[in-house]
C-alpha cells in the first residue's frame, strides 16, 4: 500500500500529508503513520518505552519544587491544583493529537590534590563531566526511540527519590532543629510548625500553577514519540499520554506530600536543599542527589530532540542533512543548557518565569488556539468549547501568575 499523498523532507524527516481533514480522520482505523513506519522498515517503539520516554519528558527538575508549592497552597489546595493541571495537560495533548490526525502531520526522523579528592562533590564539575560524557552523546542520536532505555532508568531514579523522601520523613525531627552540629540538636518549641495545613495562600502561592505547568510540560516531545510509536494511532498515543501523566502525578504527589510533612513551612524552594542542611553527611541523601542529577540530565536529550528539529526547520530546511551541522547545533544547545544550570541562582525563578510564560503557552494557550484555528468543527462543538476554555485559562493564569511573580521580585 502506497503512502497517502504528501511529501517527505529528507533533512527533517517529517512526513506531511496533503489529505483533507475528513480523509485524515478516517485514518483512525488505518493509523496515520503506519505507512511511513512500514516504508522505513521499522516496527516502531513499544508502548512501554513510549510511556517511559514521555514520562522522562514530563518528569525533571520540577519534582524538586512541588513540596514548596504544597507548603504555600496546603495539602488539599495542592491536590486540587495538581489534578486540574494534570487533566488539562492530558486534554491539551488530546487536542494536539486530534490536530495531528486532521492535518496529517507525522513521520520519522532519519538519519590541585585536594580538589581531585573532592571533585565528585562539586556540583558544577560533576554536571559538566556528565553532560560531556553522557548527555551530549545521547543528544546526538538521530532517533528518539533508543532513549526509551535511558528514560526507563530515569523513571526508576525518580521512584527512588520518592522512596527516600518517604523514608527520611522519620529521620528529621519536628519541630526542626534550629542549629545542627555533630554533637547535638537544639530543638525549637514551636510545635505549631508541625501541623499540616489543608489550605494555605501567600504571595509565594503565585508560583504554584507555573511550577505545576513546568512539571507537566511534555508537549514538545509528543509528535516525535508519536511518530516512532509501534502501530501508531491517535487512541494508542492518547493511552501512552494518560499512562505517563497518571504515573507522573502519583510520583509528584507522594514526593511533594512527604517532603512537605518533613519540613512543613520551612521547606526549601528546591527540596534537596533541606536534606543537605539537616542531613549533610547522609550517604542515602548523597546517593539520591546523584540519582536526581542523572534523572534530570537524562531528560535533556529527549527534550533536546524537538528543539534541535525546530532550529533545523527554521534555519536549514532547504539544505540537505549534514552530520556536521547536526553535531554543531546539538553542541550549542547543550552549552546553553549547562550555562543556565550553573548560573541561575534560584530554581524557583526558573519554575516561576518559565512556568507562567513558556509552559502555560505550550500546555494551555497554543493547543487551544491552534485547534480553534485548524478544526472545521462547529464552534459550539464539545472540543472547540474545550479549546476555548483551555485558551482562556492559559492566558489568565499565565498573565496573573507572571504579574504576581514580578511584583514579588520588585518588593524584594
pLDDT, one tens digit per residue, over 48-88 is 888 888 888 888 778 888 999 999 899 999 999 999 999 99
Q: How many CB atoms lie within 10 A of CB 373?
A: 9
Q: Kindly report, residue by residue over 302-345, the tens digit of the pLDDT.
A: 777 777 888 888 888 888 888 888 888 888 888 887 777 777 66
pLDDT above 90: percentage of residues in the chain:
17
Higher pLDDT, 175 or 87: 87
* pLDDT of 396 above 80: yes
Collapsing DSSP to helix, strand or coil, 379 comes out as coil
Least confident range from 135-149, 232-246, 348-362: namely 135-149
Q: What is the predicted pLDDT for the residue at 110?
A: 41
* pLDDT of 105 above 60: no
Distance CA 22, CA 245 (A): 30
Q: What is the predicted pLDDT for the residue at 289?
A: 85
Per CATH, domain 44-94+119-411 is 1.20.1740:
yes
Distance CA 280, CA 382 (A): 54
Q: What is the predicted pLDDT for the residue at 78?
A: 93
Among 99, 356, 68, 104, CA closest to 205: 68
Q: What would you report as the CA-atom Rg of the chain, rounded to the nearest whole angstrom?
A: 23
Where are the alpha helices (H) located in 316-381, listed in sequence order?
Answer: 323-343, 347-354, 360, 366-374
Residue 303 CA, chain-centre distance (Å), reads: 8
Task: Classify residue 224 by burial, with Cβ atoms within 10 Å: 0-12, 13-18, 19+.
Answer: buried
Q: What is the predicted pLDDT for the residue at 108?
A: 43
Distance CA 130, CA 374 (A): 42
Distance CA 216, CA 227 (A): 21
pLDDT class of 5 with cuts at 50, 70, 90: very low
DSSP single-letter state for residue 45: B
pLDDT class of 183 with cuts at 50, 70, 90: very low
Where are the alpha helices (H) located in 29-111, listed in sequence order?
Answer: 34-40, 47-58, 66-71, 75-103
Q: What is the predicted pLDDT for the residue at 320?
A: 84
Residues near 230 by beta carbon (within 8 Å), at least 6 away in sequence: 43, 44, 45, 46, 47, 50
Residue with cell 532508568: 153
pLDDT class of 4 with cuts at 50, 70, 90: very low
pLDDT class of 149 with cuts at 50, 70, 90: confident
pTM for the complete prediction? Answer: 0.74
Q: What is the predicted pLDDT for the residue at 181?
A: 44
* pLDDT of 157 above 70: yes
Higher pLDDT, 205 or 140: 205
Is 187:175 a contact under the CB 8 Å cutoff?
yes
* pLDDT of 347 above 90: no
pLDDT class of 243 with cuts at 50, 70, 90: very high
How do beta strands 105-107 and 177-180 pair? unpaired
pLDDT class of 91 with cuts at 50, 70, 90: very high
Amino acid at each position: 500500500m502506497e503512502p497517502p499523498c504528501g511529501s517527505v523532507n529528507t533533512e527533517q524527516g517529517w512526513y506531511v500529508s496533503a489529505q483533507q481533514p475528513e480523509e485524515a480522520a478516517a485514518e483512525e482505523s488505518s493509523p496515520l503513520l503506519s505507512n511511513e513506519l512500514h516504508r522505513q522498515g521499522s516496527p516502531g517503539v513499544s508502548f512501554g518505552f513510549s510511556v517511559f520516554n514521555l514520562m522522562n519528558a514530563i518528569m525533571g527538575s520540577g519534582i524538586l519544587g512541588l513540596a514548596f508549592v504544597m507548603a504555600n497552597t496546603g495539602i488539599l489546595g495542592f491536590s486540587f491544583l495538581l489534578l486540574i493541571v494534570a487533566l488539562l495537560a492530558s486534554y491539551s495533548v488530546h487536542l494536539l493529537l486530534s490536530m495531528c490526525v486532521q492535518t496529517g502531520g507525522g513521520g520519522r526522523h532519519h538519519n590541585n590534590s585536594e580538589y581531585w579528592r573532592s571533585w565528585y562533590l562539586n556540583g558544577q564539575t560533576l554536571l559538566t563531566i556528565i553532560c560531556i560524557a553522557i548527555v551530549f552523546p545521547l543528544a546526538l542520536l538521530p532517533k528518539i526511540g533508543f532513549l526509551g532505555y535511558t528514560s526507563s532508568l530515569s523513571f526508576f531514579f525518580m521512584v527512588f527519590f520518592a522512596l527516600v523522601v518517604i523514608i527520611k520523613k522519620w529521620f528529621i525531627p519536628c519541630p526542626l532543629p534550629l542549629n545542627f552540629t555533630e554533637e547535638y540538636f537544639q530543638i525549637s518549641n514551636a510545635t505549631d510548625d508541625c501541623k499540616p495545613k489543608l489550605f494555605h495562600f501567600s504571595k509565594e502561592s503565585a508560583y504554584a500553577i507555573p511550577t505545576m505547568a513546568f512539571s507537566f510540560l511534555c508537549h514538545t516531545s509528543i509528535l516525535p514519540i508519536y511518530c516512532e510509536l509501534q502501530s501508531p494511532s491517535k487512541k494508542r498515543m492518547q493511552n501512552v499520554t494518560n499512562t505517563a501523566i497518571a504515573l507522573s502525578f502519583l510520583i509528584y504527589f507522594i514526593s511533594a506530600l512527604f517532603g512537605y510533612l518533613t519540613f512543613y513551612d520551612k521547606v526549601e524552594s528546591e527540596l534537596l536543599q533541606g536534606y543537605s542542611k539537616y542531613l549533610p553527611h547522609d550517604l542515602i541523601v548523597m546517593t539520591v542527589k546523584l540519582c536526581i542529577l542523572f534523572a534530570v540530565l537524562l531528560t535533556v536529550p529527549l527534550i533536546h530532540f524537538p528543539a534541535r528539529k525546530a532550529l533545523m526547520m527554521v534555519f536549514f530546511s532547504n539544505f540537505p542533512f549534514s552530520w556536521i551541522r547536526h553535531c554543531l547545533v546539538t553542541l550549542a544547545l547543550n552549552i546553553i543548557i549547562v550555562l543556565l544550570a550553573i548560573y541561575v541562582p534560584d530554581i524557583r525563578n526558573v519554575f516561576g518565569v518559565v512556568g507562567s510564560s513558556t509552559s502555560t503557552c505550550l500546555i494551555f494557550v497554543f493547543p487551544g488556539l491552534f485547534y480553534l484555528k485548524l478544526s472545521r468543527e462547529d464552534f459550539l462543538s464539545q472540543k472547540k468549547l474545550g479549546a476555548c476554555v483551555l485558551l482562556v485559562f492559559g492566558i489568565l493564569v499565565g498573565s496573573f501568575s507572571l504579574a504576581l511573580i514580578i511584583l514579588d521580585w520588585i518588593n524584594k
